Structure formats: C-alpha cells, structure tokens
Structure 1
C-alpha cells in the first residue's frame, strides 16, 4: 500500500505538469493562430488599399473574361465564345470585356469565333482590351520550375489587365488560379471555369511512382534524389494552388475528372459545379449517319500539343495496316486504302515544328501517303471531314473532358479514345475498357460488335488496343456501324451548347451585376422561366 501511495504521489506532479503543458500548448497554438490570422488580414487590407490607389476606378456593371489566347482553336476557346454569346443574349445590359494578348480589332476576334466554331458574337457589344506581358505565360520561358514561373507570370499579367480596366466581375476561363487573390483584393467578384488543374493528384502520383511522362522527364524519374526533390516541389505548389483557388467565389469545372481533382486540391467547403463544355451537337447531328464511303478514313481532331500524343495515333495506324495481309481480301483492302486525317490548330512555332516532326514520323513508318495533316482549317471544312469519317482517334492521357470525342459522336463518327479522364468518366464511359479483339493474326473474324445499348465507342490504353480498335472500326459492316453511331449521337446531345449556356449562366448569376432591388439570380430565373 505504501508503495502504491508513493507511486501515486510521484505520478500526480507528472500528470499535473502534463496537463499544464497541454493547456499552455493549446493557448500558444491559439495565440499563434490569431497572430497569423491578424498578419494575413492586415496584409490583405493593406494590399486592397494599395491596389485601390494603383488601379483605375472599378467599372460597375462590367463583366470581364480573362482569356489571352482568345483566337486559339481549342475547346477552351469554344467555352469562352459560347459563354460570351450566352451573356449577350441573357443579360443585354451588362458590359462585357475580353482581356486578350494582341491588339486586333474586336471584329477580328468575333470573326474568328464564327469561322472556327460557328458561334455568332455581337462585336458591337464586346470591348476588347489588349493586355501587356501575355508572352510571359509561355512555358518555354521557364525550362526549370515551369509551374512557379507561369504562376508568377499570371499574377503580373492579371495586374496589367486590372490596371487597364478593373471590372465588377472577373471571369477566368483560362485556368490561371494564382490571379484570383489579386482580383479579389482589387474588389472584383471572381468566377472561374477550370478545364484542367494546373497540378493534379495524378501528377503527384506519377512523380511519387517515378513514372516518365510529358510532365516528368526520364532523367528525373530514373533518379531517386531528383524525384524526391520534385515531389516536395509539387506538394508545396499544390498547397499554394489550393489556397489561390479558394479566392474564387464561383467555381465551375468541365468534367467529373476535373471536379475530383479540384475538390481534392482547393481549399473550399462547397464542391465545384460541373458544367459540361459546349459542343456543336446541333449542327453535327444534321450530318447523315449513312455514309457513302467514297473514301475510307479516320479523323483525329486535337491541337498539336505534346500531351495530345499524336505519335501514338501514327504508330497504331501503321500497326493496323501492317496486319492487312492476315485478313480476307475485302478486309485487307479496307485497311490498305484507309487514311488518317489529323486536324488541329497550331498556337506558335513550337506547334508547327511538332507537325513537321509528325510528318517525318509518318515517312519513317511508311504511311506518309495515307496520312494528311490539316492545320488551322475553318469550321466548315472540319464539319465536312467529320461528315465522311468512320472513326475518330483520341490519345491524350487524362484528358480533362474531350470535346473532340463528343464531336465524333454527334457527327456519327465512332470514337476510339483513351481510357482515362473525361472520355472514360463522362463521355464514352460506362464500359470499363472495351472488349477489343486480340492482335491479328489470331482473330478468326472481325464482326463481333457488342450491343449498341452498352457501347458508344472504344476505350483504349496501349498501342495494341488502339490498333485492334482501328481494324475493327475500318472493317465493320455498315449496319453494325450505324447501330453504334446512332446510340453515340443520342448520348452526345447531352453536351449541347444550350445545356452549357443554361448551366454557366445559372452558376454565374449569383455574382453578376444587378439592377437596384434585383439580383442577377432573380434576373436569370425570370428569363429562364
């Protein structure tokens, strides 16, 4: 008993000391938190006051879109112009501004939207502001620490934009999240439409697993110290990216895949709103499904950027043609006469050099006479090409959405897409990986087509899977192709321009400029009703 009493006597001071330590630790932590919050709040207040002195007076009733590369031919630019058109139609009293890189006349920008995307925007109701320093956003300027370099450049460019014109609502459709704190401090209400996270959990995983890809060179992937250093860099950047994203009041994303990543990275209580990007399904659905097939060809629609992986398409197409001798005369003839038409836009000289390299690859593979490259063609010409193609190729890993895949489906072209990102989760999805035939010549026949109720296209990963899908689509009989194309076209209608406009305006209405006594949301509800 005496021993127990002695033990308790010794234990009591230790417990009291530990308890006091915990209390003091909690108090110190609370004090530290208050100090940090006070410093941040003071810095924000000072920053806002300084910006109000430096920047021009805020333009009330003005909504500005930030998209420097407004004349580009990609899906991001189509979102921009559809959003501007929707705003012009539903909110005629709102002043619309577009921040761009270049001093072209606004009529030229609107003409580009009409020519490339078949979108009519009223030039008289759009103010175009040329922003200095947009060239600083080019990744080529930052061979090392590209993410940080571009992030800092985006803040500089955003400041230049706000210095030229400080709007009431700042809408970013280009994905530069590090601008949002600056825009909020300048007094703007901030909305964003994010196509692709600047950094994703997939990127972190690849560096952790030391996988080599376009954003992780083989030199780094093969070195443990370099991989660890890059992983620390990526995690630090991801934290800063998440903080910057929290400054946006309205966050829209273009797909389930992007939603998952933004929800995981950005410091927000409310989940992002998924608003599928606009696809010209109405026009493309007018194309006949029953093709005359005067010439047999596949089409590929994608900007000539490294992540689009055009080389995989060339290799898979060459591999499919190489096995033509193993099939019947009719099937072998189909493979021999088939062509691949690659359609895309070039943003700069680097993209044009990439096209030249792809042409060299086609010559090396012996398919140069069966491959055609169409660069920066008008929308009418693209529509004509889609109207005659039997299959459409898409090979980008982790494509955020995949507008081109929807365009294939709407036009009656059977998509052959990568088994990841938007194509898997939102578009072709539903089937995990399509049941492709084994690599020839072990295939007994080529007309085994699953029920159209469960297939709208093909999802592939490896070159062999792509080659097998190409063989199946090119050799498919007309009735089987029509069944799949019909189901695909009906699914594509979900991604229409009209559905995008409805979702975009509904999300943006809560922060739009409004007339006295009426909120933007009230205005939209009255119009939609």
Structure 2
C-alpha cells in the first residue's frame, strides 16, 4: 500500500514537472505576434479546442465569433485553435471564416496547433458505450493538446468536458467552455427509465427490462463523472436557457454560468423579407440536416393530416395545389441519403409524394430564395438545445411552427411585447392543427406575427453575441486570471 502511494505521488510529481516544462516552452511560443509594449493589456493566449474547426456549421460560427470578439477587445490576445483539420496553410481557415461567416480574423493573432488523434472522438469507433468511448477519446486528444501547447486560458467549444481536469489540475490554467448541449441530461435518463425508444435509446434496449436497468446504471455513472469534469470550469457559457438548466443541475455552477445565445446572421435573413411573396403560395419550409434527431417524419405525417383537414373543409383544389412542404438540408454521407430515401417512402405511403420537395445540399443563396417564398417555417426536433434554424426562419419572415420543448419553447418562439411570434406543437395532430390555424389566418394577422418575430430575433444577432460573450469572459476569466497576472517577459 505504501509502495502504491509512493508510485502515485511520483506520478503526480512527474506530471506536474511535465506541465511546468511545457508551460515554460509555451510561454513565448507566439510572442512574436503580440505587441509586448502594451502594459495595460499584457500578452496572453487563449487556446480553443475545436477539432473540426473547418466544418462551417453553427459551432464554427461560435468559435470564429468568439476569437474575433477577443481580438477586437484585447490587442495582445493571441488565439490558438487546437484542430485536427489538415490544410495547406492556416490562412485557409481564416479565409473560410471570412467567406462563410463574414468574420475577419487577425492572421497573425490566430494560430493553430494540429492534433493527430482526432479520430479518437469519432462515434463510428464506438458502436456501444458511445458516450463513454467518445469522452475517453476526447481525454486522450486533450492529452495531445496539453503536451503540444499550454495556453493562459483553455477554452473548450465542442462539448469535451473530460478534458477540463487536465488543464485545471495539471496545467493550472483558467478553464472556460461554451456548451451547446450537455453530453448527458436528465431528459436522456428519463427516456431510458420510461423505456422510450429514441435515436439514442435503441428499441432493443427500450423493450428489455434488464438492458434498461443496465443502461440506467451506465448513464448514472457517466453523469457523475461528467459532473465532476464540468466542475473544473472557471467560466461556463451556454447557448440557451434549456442548456443552462441542465448544466446547472449537473455541474452545480450557477454562480459562474451565463447564457450567451449563439450568433445568428439575422441581417441576411431579415433583408429578404417580402410580405407579398410569403403568402403567394402556402409553402412550408424545413431547414435542417437529415439527421435522425431532426424528426422529419413528424413533418411529413403532419402535412398528411393537414391536407386531410383541408379536403374535409372542401377547400378548392386550386388552393390545395399551393400547399407544399420543402425539406431543405444537407446530405453528409450515405446514412443521410438512406434517411432521405426513407422519408420519400413515407411520403409515398401517405399518398403525398407530390406535395413534398427535397432540396438537398442547397446553396445559401437558394436557401434565401426559398425562405422568401415560404409562408411557414417548420422545425420538429424534440429538445433542440437552441435552434439557429428556427431563428433564421423567423428572421426571414416565415410564421414559425416548432416543437414545444427546450430552446424554441423557452427562448425563441415566445411572446414579444404581448404579440405572438409563432406556434408550438408536440405531435402530428398538433402540428396539423397549427398549420390549419396559420392557413386560415388573414394576411394582416400573419404579418403581425412576422413583424413581432423579426423584431424579437434581433436579440440573437452577431452584435449581441459579442457583447454577452465579452461580458461573461471579463467577469469570470479576464479580471481573475489575466488582468492581475504577472506580465510576460
């Protein structure tokens, strides 16, 4: 026993020594890119763990927006991105951020550290115990990041909480995170406990008492480890009230957790609003990737029930001809294509295949054209943590119909100045009833909802993100760990 304790003590000492040496080597690694004469804002580095930084999605918009905000606020801040993406030149990342999001980063103060073991966080390597496998894989990826560079502030933006203890205890640096959704939540535990079959609780498990109990034990153990790792954070930013509630429940860090809504390019969508075009037909647009959790089947079933209601009301055929469901989304791989094929089959089964249009891998310009001609925006994911697609549809001027849960329910499709901003529903019957209400509304009433919604979603703009992000960073990180720190040589 004494020998074991000695070995553990030596291991801890070795790790601390390694950390000390890496910090020394890291200290002036990027100093040539900073203005070291600025005494008011001493040179410091913020390391962002974002292994897939070249993807071009909502998570990447948050990453580049955060870096831009820090560079504008602190002239001596150098942002270092840990990434597994291999490109010919780091300038490609900066160019893509500008082209895709119109975010102009400082080429000298945006640096990259390349990680070789990114494959360890891919879910395809963990067909069972996926959460645990990916989390342990992220820890090993975090070790690689730790060994290559230790920043003054470690900022995690992709949900890899198992990396926090490495930088908190061994590197002894400030740990910040922007959490899009909890890796595990009480909702997931409830679904398993109630034996509900969902995209992350297979029918094989949900129909077995023994497997359900085993999965509950696994989830509870994982939740405890996840909670421990999360409590290593010094600054926690979350993307919605729903996420905040779950993170507070798991991590118990309410006093240093702040909602910072993700930046949405509402100006671009706001610019296409044309109240005459929207109601020329009754197009219902869905903007979402073809992933299982997006629940496109619900939209198709709701359309079928809605069309049935129109027929029962003896709606003229020429008016029914104006109704269409536009499923706009990207197909990333064969799995996505298989899901699209299944959705086509469902539309044929319901006899409405001529009413459902699949708009696959659409360009951004074509997306804007379709939204400008749509009367309704529809979104059906259960427990969508935020819902950027919902915000974009509202900014574009569609009357929004979303699922009555999580981000859309708590933050987005909420009354604004006493006016309705959209509709919420939970099942195909509820969606169909809401579609009928919108269909029967006057043009004037629809526009009242649209105007209230478009004004309301300005709170999710790029400018608001910058303001709220810097407020959280200043309060929980900069003033405590940077401003009073010893200046660099």
TM range, smaller chain: 0.7 to 0.9
The answer on 1:48 being equivalent to 2:12 is no
Residue 40 and residue 310 in structure 1: after superposition, are their counterparts in 2 closer, same or farther (change >3 A)?
A: farther
The answer on 1:98 being equivalent to 2:98 is no
1:242 maps to which of 227, 235, 249:
227
2:436 maps to which of 445, 453, 471:
471
Kept in 2, the 8 Å contact 1:243–1:267? The answer is: no
2:152 maps to which of 168, 180, 194:
168
> 1:316 is matched with which residue?
302
Residue segments in structure 1 that go unaligned for 5+ positions in a row:
1-36, 432-451, 521-529
1:171-210 to structure 2, matched below 5 A, reads: 171-184=155-168, 185-210=170-195
> 2:388 is matched with which residue?
403
Q: State the alpha-carbon separation in 2 of the partners of residues 353 and 164 from structure 1.
A: 40
Residue segments in structure 2 that go unaligned for 5+ positions in a row:
29-43
1:10-409 to structure 2, matched below 5 A, reads: 46-52=14-20, 57-59=25-27, 61-104=44-87, 105-123=89-107, 125-184=109-168, 185-268=170-253, 270-293=255-278, 294-330=280-316, 333-409=318-394
Residue 295 and residue 81 in structure 1: after superposition, are their counterparts in 2 closer, same or farther (change >3 A)?
A: farther
Residues 309-358 of structure 1 show CA distances to partners (whole Å, capped at 9, x for unaligned) of 1221122223322443223445x533333222222334444334433433
**What secondary structure, in the 3-state scheme, does the structure 1 residue paired with 2:384 have?**
coil
TM-aligned CA deviation for residue 503 of structure 1: 1.0
Residues 198-249 of structure 1 show CA distances to partners (whole Å, capped at 9, x for unaligned) of 0001111122222221221222222222111111111111100000001111
**What secondary structure, in the 3-state scheme, does the structure 2 residue paired with 1:229 have?**
helix
Kept in 2, the 8 Å contact 1:99–1:129? The answer is: yes
Kept in 1, the 8 Å contact 2:378–2:400? The answer is: yes
Please say which structure displays the higher CA radius of gyration: 1
Kept in 2, the 8 Å contact 1:56–1:163? The answer is: no
Q: State the alpha-carbon separation in 2 of the partners of residues 299 and 40 from structure 1.
A: 59
TM-aligned CA deviation for residue 39 of structure 1: 11
Residue 233 and residue 518 in structure 1: after superposition, are their counterparts in 2 closer, same or farther (change >3 A)?
A: closer
Residues 480-513 of structure 1 show CA distances to partners (whole Å, capped at 9, x for unaligned) of 1101101111111122111111111121235767
Kept in 1, the 8 Å contact 2:146–2:166? The answer is: no
> 1:523 is matched with which residue?
none
Residue 219 and residue 210 in structure 1: after superposition, are their counterparts in 2 closer, same or farther (change >3 A)?
A: same
TM-aligned CA deviation for residue 143 of structure 1: 1.4
Residue 209 and residue 333 in structure 1: after superposition, are their counterparts in 2 closer, same or farther (change >3 A)?
A: same
Q: State the alpha-carbon separation in 2 of the partners of residues 123 and 159 from structure 1.
A: 27
Q: State the alpha-carbon separation in 2 of the partners of residues 107 and 314 from structure 1.
A: 43
Task: Give TM-score scaled by structure 2 length.
Answer: 0.85
The aligned length equals 462
Kept in 1, the 8 Å contact 2:26–2:149? The answer is: yes
Task: Give TM-score scaled by structure 1 length.
Answer: 0.79
**What secondary structure, in the 3-state scheme, does the structure 2 residue paired with 1:167 have?**
coil
Residue 102 and residue 269 in structure 1: after superposition, are their counterparts in 2 closer, same or farther (change >3 A)?
A: closer
Kept in 2, the 8 Å contact 1:117–1:379? The answer is: no
Q: State the alpha-carbon separation in 1 of the partners of residues 167 and 73 from structure 2.
A: 25
Residues 383-440 of structure 1 show CA distances to partners (whole Å, capped at 9, x for unaligned) of 3332222111111111111111112222211111100101111111359xxxxxxxxx
Name the stretch that deviates more: 333-342 or 396-405.
Answer: 333-342
The answer on 1:483 being equivalent to 2:466 is no
Q: State the alpha-carbon separation in 2 of the partners of residues 337 and 225 from structure 1.
A: 51
Q: State the alpha-carbon separation in 2 of the partners of residues 123 and 79 from structure 1.
A: 18
Kept in 2, the 8 Å contact 1:415–1:458? The answer is: yes
Kept in 1, the 8 Å contact 2:385–2:406? The answer is: yes
Kept in 2, the 8 Å contact 1:74–1:345? The answer is: no
TM-aligned CA deviation for residue 170 of structure 1: 1.5
Kept in 2, the 8 Å contact 1:259–1:274? The answer is: yes
Q: State the alpha-carbon separation in 1 of the partners of residues 470 and 13 from structure 2.
A: 31
TM-aligned CA deviation for residue 381 of structure 1: 3.0
RMSD, aligned CA: 3.0
Q: State the alpha-carbon separation in 1 of the partners of residues 143 and 17 from structure 2.
A: 15
